[in-house]
Amino acid sequence: MLEKILKQYGIEKVSARTKISKKHLSKLLERDFEGFSKPQAYGFVSILEREYGDSFEELRVELQAWFSKGESSEKREEIFVSTETQKPKSGLKKWIAVAAVLLLAAIALLLVQMQSPSQERERMQSASTPPVQKAEEKTESETPPPAPAAESRKSQESTEATGSGEKVAAEVPEREAVAAAAETSEPQPYVPMENAVVTPIVKLWFGIIDLETKKRIAKTTGDPYEIESKGRKLLITGHGRFEISDAFGNLFRFNDAKKHYFLIDDGMVKEIPLDEFKRLNGGKVW
């Protein structure tokens, strides 16, 4: 059926009408369900059925077979994209260490070059001094003078500057690497559902009460069920594992043997206590 609709209207018009991206329509057409969450995939099918009034039972059967394989290995995909910043890889740390060593070597070479001219001048002066003068100078300088305090402070300041330079050199590449990793990570687009969706993990009983029309719907199913966002509704569930995603991107998960009660207000899902549920339902539980 999807092939017929895309052939008749074209992928551009179908995407504009359903708000489903062309990328996701192409994946549904090619039966490539990799990367879809169960509520998201069934939500696309529900939107297509609502907009074009046709049955997509064949596509639903193929989706059910696909997600059955995933559930058997206890691997469920998250609807939302993780926004955690990627940590620098170990190879990057090696390059940072190499850069620090090279910086130390460069500083040591610079100090040696600064000392070399003065030593060369001393050797030349010593070579040009007559032997007698050398002997006199040796006699006069038998008692070496104490090192000036100014030179000691200068040496200490040079050592501190060297340590500070090493720290800055190590920190700057690491910050740049973290920023680069954050820029290269491309989050996958999330297509929000227009309605709230109940997704049973095992077969689940639930009931829906429209607070305006007082209409009641009860179902027992293992497939996702879409609840129209418009208006205010009450939702009661039986015992079992299930998930609820609302139209605002919130996801709720439950895995216990308790009944749960919810208020759905224009697409937003809120869990409420039994007392409030009964008050909104005219004193009744169901």
- Residues 95 and 175 both lie in one domain: yes
State the Cα–Cα distance between residues 121 and 42, nearest whole angstrom: 86
Is residue 114 assigned to a domain? yes
Is residue 263 assigned to a domain? yes
- Residues 219 and 165 both lie in one domain: no
**CA dihedral over 124, 129, 130, 135, signed as positive or negative:** negative
Q: Does residue 251 carry a pLDDT above 90? A: yes
| pTM of this prediction exceeds 0.85 | no
Is residue 136 assigned to a domain? no
- Residues 95 and 180 both lie in one domain: yes
| Token code pair at residue 134 | 């050398």
Cα of first residue to Cα of last residue in the chain, in angstroms, is: 38
Q: Does residue 208 carry a pLDDT above 70? A: yes
Structural domains of the chain, count? 3
State the Cα–Cα distance between residues 23 and 31, nearest whole angstrom: 12
| CA dist 264 → 272, 274, 275 (Å) | 10, 15, 16
| Token code pair at residue 35 | 């990367």
Place of tokens 């009450």: 234
Confidence of residue 189 (pLDDT cuts 50, 70, 90): very low
**CA dihedral over 118, 119, 120, 123, signed as positive or negative:** positive
Q: Does residue 225 carry a pLDDT above 60? A: yes
Upper half-sphere CA count for residue 186 (Cβ side, 13 Å)? 2
- Residues 213 and 235 both lie in one domain: yes
- Residues 158 and 218 both lie in one domain: no
- Residues 172 and 202 both lie in one domain: no
SS3 236: strand
- Residues 236 and 208 both lie in one domain: yes
The whole-angstrom distance between residue 263's C-alpha and the CA centroid of its chain comes to 30
- Residues 207 and 243 both lie in one domain: yes
**What's the longest Cα–Cα distance across the chain?**
122
- Residues 52 and 112 both lie in one domain: no
Q: Does residue 152 carry a pLDDT above 70? A: no
Domain that holds residue 215: 196-280
Place of tokens 């551009």: 12
Is residue 78 assigned to a domain? no
Mean pLDDT of 120-146: 51
How would you list the strands of the sheet with 225-227, edge to edge?
225-227, 196-200, 240-245, 251-256
Is residue 8 assigned to a domain? yes
- Residues 151 and 233 both lie in one domain: no
Instruction: Render pLDDT for 51-93 as a digit per residue (tens, 0 to 9).
Output: 887 778 888 888 888 888 876 654 444 444 444 444 445 678 7
